[in-house]
Amino acid sequence: MFNLAGPRPLGNSIASMDLGFALQARCLEAVATGSVDATSCVVPVHGHIDAAIANSYLAGKYPTVR
Protein backbone atom coordinates (compact mmCIF):
# COMPACT_ATOMS: atom_id res chain seq x y z
CA MET A 1 0.00 0.00 0.00
CA PHE A 2 2.95 2.32 0.62
CA ASN A 3 3.61 2.75 -3.10
CA LEU A 4 0.04 4.04 -3.61
CA ALA A 5 0.34 7.00 -1.23
CA GLY A 6 2.75 9.78 -0.45
CA PRO A 7 4.00 12.83 -2.29
CA ARG A 8 4.95 10.83 -5.41
CA PRO A 9 2.71 7.76 -5.62
CA LEU A 10 4.07 5.22 -8.10
CA GLY A 11 1.31 2.65 -8.04
CA ASN A 12 1.93 -1.00 -8.78
CA SER A 13 4.14 -2.28 -11.57
CA ILE A 14 2.52 -4.06 -14.49
CA ALA A 15 4.30 -7.25 -13.49
CA SER A 16 2.91 -7.21 -9.94
CA MET A 17 -0.60 -6.40 -11.19
CA ASP A 18 -0.36 -9.24 -13.72
CA LEU A 19 0.75 -11.67 -11.03
CA GLY A 20 -2.01 -10.56 -8.69
CA PHE A 21 -4.72 -10.93 -11.32
CA ALA A 22 -3.36 -14.34 -12.38
CA LEU A 23 -3.45 -15.56 -8.78
CA GLN A 24 -7.00 -14.28 -8.31
CA ALA A 25 -8.14 -15.92 -11.54
CA ARG A 26 -6.62 -19.30 -10.64
CA CYS A 27 -8.15 -19.15 -7.17
CA LEU A 28 -11.57 -18.35 -8.60
CA GLU A 29 -11.16 -21.17 -11.12
CA ALA A 30 -10.36 -23.61 -8.31
CA VAL A 31 -13.49 -22.57 -6.41
CA ALA A 32 -15.65 -22.68 -9.56
CA THR A 33 -14.47 -26.17 -10.56
CA GLY A 34 -14.86 -27.52 -7.05
CA SER A 35 -11.22 -28.46 -6.50
CA VAL A 36 -11.39 -26.32 -3.33
CA ASP A 37 -14.39 -24.99 -1.49
CA ALA A 38 -15.06 -21.32 -0.79
CA THR A 39 -14.51 -21.70 2.96
CA SER A 40 -10.86 -22.67 2.39
CA CYS A 41 -10.24 -19.54 0.31
CA VAL A 42 -11.88 -16.79 2.33
CA VAL A 43 -9.92 -15.35 5.23
CA PRO A 44 -11.87 -12.62 7.02
CA VAL A 45 -10.17 -9.68 8.70
CA HIS A 46 -10.48 -10.02 12.46
CA GLY A 47 -12.77 -7.43 14.00
CA HIS A 48 -10.10 -5.97 16.27
CA ILE A 49 -7.80 -5.32 13.27
CA ASP A 50 -10.62 -3.75 11.25
CA ALA A 51 -11.58 -1.55 14.22
CA ALA A 52 -7.96 -0.51 14.85
CA ILE A 53 -7.53 0.65 11.24
CA ALA A 54 -10.87 2.48 11.25
CA ASN A 55 -10.04 4.20 14.54
CA SER A 56 -6.61 5.20 13.24
CA TYR A 57 -8.17 6.82 10.19
CA LEU A 58 -10.70 8.65 12.35
CA ALA A 59 -7.89 9.83 14.64
CA GLY A 60 -6.02 11.25 11.64
CA LYS A 61 -3.07 8.85 11.80
CA TYR A 62 -3.58 7.86 8.16
CA PRO A 63 -4.24 11.00 6.12
CA THR A 64 -6.13 10.45 2.91
CA VAL A 65 -4.44 11.04 -0.46
CA ARG A 66 -5.93 13.90 -2.43
pLDDT digits over 7-20, tens only?
Answer: 676 777 777 778 88
pLDDT band at 62 (very low <50, low <70, confident <90, very high): low
The residues spanned by each domain of the chain are 2-58
Q: Region 49-61: what's the mean pLDDT?
A: 80
Are residues 11 and 20 in contact, defined by beta-carbon separation less than 8 angstroms? no
pLDDT computed for residue 54 by the predictor: 81
- For 17-47, the pLDDT digits (tens) are 788 888 888 888 888 898 887 677 666 778 8
Q: Give the pLDDT band (50/70/90) at residue 66.
A: very low
- CA-CA distance, 41 to 32, in Å (whole number)? 12
Contact predicate 25/18, CB 8 Å: no
Phi, psi for 23 (deg, rounded to 5): -65, -45
